[in-house]
Structures are given as C-alpha cells and as structure tokens.
Chains A and B, each alone.
Chain A
Amino acid sequence: MRRAVLLGLAMFTLAAPQILTATCHAADSINPQADFKAFRKYFTERFTNVPLNDFVNGPYSMDAGLRKQWLEIDAFPPYQFALDKGKEMFNTPFKNGKTYGDCFPNKGIGVRQDYPYFDTKSGEVITLDVALNQCREANGEKPFDYSKDDMAALTAYMAYTSRGKRFDIKIPDDPRALAAYEKGEEYFYTRRGQLNFSCASCHVQNPGGHLRTEVLAPALGIVAAMPIYRSEWGGMGTISRRFTSCNSQVRATPLKPEDELYRDVEYYLSYMSNGLPISGPGARP
C-alpha cells in the first residue's frame, strides 16, 4: 500500500495515468531505478520547455522574470564572500598540520556530486556536511554548527569546485542502504504539521507555483544548488537550514540538523537527481 501511495498520490492531481500505473507496479518491492524513471518522466513531461540541466537552478528554471533578475545579480554574486572565506578555511591547516583535503578523495576538489553516500561501515548515509565535521573531529577540531555560516562557507567552496559535475549517487547492494533510501522517500511524501503539507505538496505538486511571491523549486535537482545565499535570510543557508525552515513553514517540528532521517531525505533527493550537474553555491531572492 505504502509504496503505491508515495509518488502516486503526490503526483495524482496532474500525473499522467501511466505514472500511476508505473509506481503502482512497484508496490511491493523497493525499486529505486523504477522510482528514478517515473520521477524524471513526471518532471520532464510536465515542464517540456525546461532543459533537463536547468532544473538545478531551482525557482529560476520555472520563472522567466525571476531568471532575468538572477542573471543580473549573478554578475556580482552575493555568495562571493562565503566562497572566499570557504576557500581560505579549506586551505588552512588544522592545529595538527593536516587539512580538509586530506580527508577526501581527490583532496576534496570536485567531489560534491558523490555526496551523500551510504557508508557500509556505520550503516548510515553520510552527507558532505557530516563528512566535513567527521574530518574536523578526526583531526581534533570542534564540529561546526550544521546550520551556520562556517559550514555554509566550506560547502559553498566544495560545491564551487564541483560545478558542472553530475550527481553520481550510488545505492550499494546492502539492505540497509535500500532501507535508508526508502525512509527518505517516505519522509518526503508524508504530510505533517498543522498545515498538513508533505515536502512533495510544494516541490512535486506545485513547482513553479507562487506561494505568496515565492516561486517553488522543483524536487528534481533541488539540492544541486546548495548551499544558497538568500536575500530573505540576509546570508547563506546550508541544506540543514533549508530543510528545517521548510518544516517550520508548515508548523511541523523540524528534525535536528543532519538528523539521520534528513540525511535519508537528501540521499533520496540526490539519487533522483543523478546525472544532473552541481550548480552551487546558489543565490535566491
């Protein structure tokens, strides 16, 4: 029952009947590849005039007027300050002389597209933000707050060196990895909060719609531009900041930043974005 409802229900209002059948076939077993196909098809058929690679630009892919303003702003990107700071932090050795680069494949340059990954040792999804804090702690440094500026600056720099590289999220042959994927998917489609919204209510049912004056981003490619500078925040926001504020908007109790379940959601969304280019850091109105 549950798997039939997830994508099926969220897409019901506008979905072509064949998507419903496709997802209903997958009713009994977890099948990320079939989910991926149905998900991609839903967005590309609904937004036939949005080029596939453009979905990673979030609200700008949906609205010509906004896009024009963005291109003007992007000549002097508001995330530049964070980017410079992130680069400097990234290259400054810890007290023990090691650097962030020592913790990552390819010295941490151009690797954003491989996160999050499922860690078969711990049995958990590891996002880039968590990997950065693990690196700090392994080198005797205090972890950063997942919602604040230092983490945003570091992830902004790592996204920047990965721009254009395509999401390559793997689900290893491990039942725990599939379970994490499934939990993330389920969270994404479950309604919550006094206002009764799921993530999908906004980002699958209504991308391109205006919530007051904000243009809703499509779920396809939705994490590619993170972290983002938002004028409304007057600063940078990490993925954690965005997820918790989306939860609060519907008067749901947010999870802890980088809670295991949020990491599962990011795993699900990133897998759905496989093949799409990293576009972060982003700038939003």
Chain B
Amino acid sequence: MQQRCTMAAKACGAILAASLCARAAAAAEPNARTFFMENCQQCHQVRGVDNTGNIGPALSDMKARFPDRKALFAIVFDETKRNPQTVMPPFGRNLILTSQEINTIIDFLYSR
C-alpha cells in the first residue's frame, strides 16, 4: 500500500491521483472527513467542505434520501452497476477503498 502510493504519487502530481495518494499519510489518523476529501470532494459538494467539484450531485439529506444503507454502499462500491455510463469510480470493485473505508465515508455522509 505504502509502496503503491509512493509510486503513484511520483507519477501523478494531479488532482485525482495525488489526493488519493495522500492516504498513506492520513492513515495514521483515520478520519472520515479526510477520506471524503481525498476521494469524493473533486466531484461532490457536501456541507462543510470547501473547493468541491460538481461533476456529481450534491450529497445532502443523505439519511432521508438513502435510508437503506446497503443501497448507498452499493453506489460507492460500484456505481457502474446502476449506471454503466457513470464517471464515478468503482471504489470497492477497483480496490480503491476497503469496505471498512466505504463505511466510514457513509457514516460521514449520514452525519451531513
């Protein structure tokens, strides 16, 4: 993991990869907000986070809109299942995030 990130970080210096690569450093202090900023901020607005992108819809009222946690997990795990054309990366399927990390992000979203 450490190894993979260092190599990717060298290769990229770019928005998506660079932010994802910052994870190794952040791992010492797992923090849902940091996970969100590293993986989702480039595309989604959420209350309390600055400099977000707008490629995807704003993630607000999550509890009301996604009462079924499994459904929300499935979207983050692999949104191409629901929408083959989506640009949202398949975080679970492509091993970008572990299930535990996805769940940490979901807790964060439910708190918004």
Contacts and interface: CB of A to CB of B under 8 A. Distances in A.
Interface of A: 9-10, 12-13, 194-197, 201-202, 205-206, 209-214, 245-246, 248-251, 254
Nearest to A197: B87
Interface in B82-101: 84-85, 87, 89-90, 94-96
Given A206-B55, A209-B54, A251-B20, A195 B11 contact: no
A248 B17 contact: yes
Contact of B89 (A13, A194, A254): A194
A143 to B, nearest CB: 23
A197 B89 CA distance: 8
A12 B86 CA distance: 10
A10 B86 CA distance: 9
A213 B54 CA distance: 9
A208 to B, nearest CB: 10
6 contacts: A12-B85, A205-B87, A246-B14, A248-B11, A248-B12, A251-B8
A209 B55 contact: yes
Contact of A251 (B17, B80, B85): B17
A159 B98 CA distance: 47
A214 B87 contact: no
B31 interface: no
Contacts of B55: 206, 209-211
9 tightest A-B CB contacts, nearest first: A249-B14, A210-B53, A248-B12, A212-B42, A195-B89, A201-B87, A209-B55, A249-B16, A210-B54
A211 B12 contact: no
Nearest to A212: B42
A10 B85 CA distance: 7
- In this complex, which of B12, B41, B96 has the most chain A Cβ atoms within 10 angstroms of its Cβ? B12
Nearest to B96: A194
A211 B16 CA distance: 9
A196 B80 contact: yes
Interface of B: 8, 11-17, 19-20, 41-43, 51-55, 80, 84-85, 87, 89-90, 94-96
Contacts of B16: 195, 211, 249-251
- In this complex, which of A13, A196, A202, A246 has the most chain B Cβ atoms within 10 angstroms of its Cβ? A196
Given A195-B16, A195-B89, A248-B11, A209 B95 contact: no
A196 B85 contact: no
Contacts of A248: 8, 11-14, 17
Nearest to B19: A212
Given A206-B87, A245-B13, 15 more contacts: A9-B84, A12-B85, A194-B94, A195-B94, A197-B89, A202-B87, A209-B53, A209-B55, A210-B55, A211-B15, A245-B14, A246-B14, A248-B13, A249-B12, A254-B11
Given A212-B15, A249-B14, A251-B20, A194 B85 contact: no
Contacts of B11: 248, 254
Contacts of A196: 80, 89-90, 94
Contacts of B80: 196
A214 B52 CA distance: 10
A205 B84 CA distance: 13
Contacts of A202: 87
A13 B41 CA distance: 22
A211 B42 contact: yes
